[in-house]
Amino acid sequence: MNRFVRIGSGIFSLLLGSSGFIIPILPGWPLFAAGLILLSPDVPFLRKMKQKMEARFPKIAQRLEKHIGKVCDDCF
């Protein structure tokens, strides 16, 4: 996935997720989490946070990597 497309879709997901916390129709946390995952290769703070979460919850990290890897090859 192109870097600019990944950053753009990550920011868009964060915005939708943030509005989902206010508007009850939109699911907030899945969109917010997707935005953080998409931005993690480019933002050092998010990269460190993702590495800590992978070390703490390895089974969940493997599932996420499997499902997101189908959509985005270079997100992990």
pLDDT tens digit sequence for 17-52:
888 878 878 777 788 888 888 888 888 888 888 888
- What mean pLDDT comes out for the span 46-75? 77
Residues 6 or more apart from 32 whose CB is under 8 A from it?
Answer: 13, 14, 17, 18, 20, 21
Residue 76: pLDDT over 60: no
Percent of the chain clearing pLDDT 70 (strictly above): 86
Given a contact cutoff of 8 angstroms between Cβ atoms, the answer to whether 46 and 59 are in contact is: no
Look at residue 42 in the predicted model and tell me its pLDDT. 86
Reduced to 3 states (helix: H, G, I; strand: E, B; else coil), residue 5 is helix
Q: Which residue has the tokens 């939708």?
A: 16
